[in-house]
């Protein structure tokens, strides 16, 4: 709740990832649904991953780290959650909200 307080302008982004996508290609697969702005400069980011059960924590952490690097933030400024969904054969869905941009 406190992370979303006084969010100001926020962006919603999604990534649909096949297991085979290389890490350097991940950033190119980010799509911003409503506001085409980079997450760089956001003071807070919430990340939610839907994965299939064969995805390990290290794969999920790699996605979070790539988004963290893209935003230029440290781990304390990012919250994330993971949900296991067996219908996502060989795919990861990532949704994130970034906000509190500098004016």
pLDDT digits (tens, 9 = 90+) for 22-49: 555 666 666 666 566 677 777 788 888 8
pLDDT-based confidence at 19, cuts 50/70/90?
low
Sorted by where each begins, the domain ranges of the chain are 11-101
Show the tokens assigned to 38. Answer: 């980079």
The fold of the 11-101 domain, in CATH, is 60s Ribosomal Protein L30; Chain: A; (3.30.1330)
The structure's pTM equals: 0.73
Paired sense of beta strands 78-84 and 31-32, if any: unpaired
pLDDT digits (tens, 9 = 90+) for 51-101: 877 776 777 788 888 888 888 877 777 888 888 888 877 778 888 888 777
Q: Which of 93, 103, 100, 102 is nearest to 15 (CA)?
A: 93
């Amino acid at each position: 709740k406190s992370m979303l307080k006084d969010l100001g302008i926020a962006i919603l982004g999604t990534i649909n990832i096949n297991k085979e996508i290389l890490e350097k290609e991940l950033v190119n697969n980010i799509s911003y649904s409503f506001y085409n702005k980079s997450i760089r400069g956001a003071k807070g980011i919430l990340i939610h991953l839907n994965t299939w059960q064969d995805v390990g924590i290290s794969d999920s952490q790699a996605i979070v780290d790539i988004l963290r690097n893209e935003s230029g933030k440290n781990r304390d400024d990012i919250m994330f959650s993971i949900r296991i969904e067996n219908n996502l054969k060989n795919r990861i869905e990532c949704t994130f909200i970034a906000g509190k941009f500098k004016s």
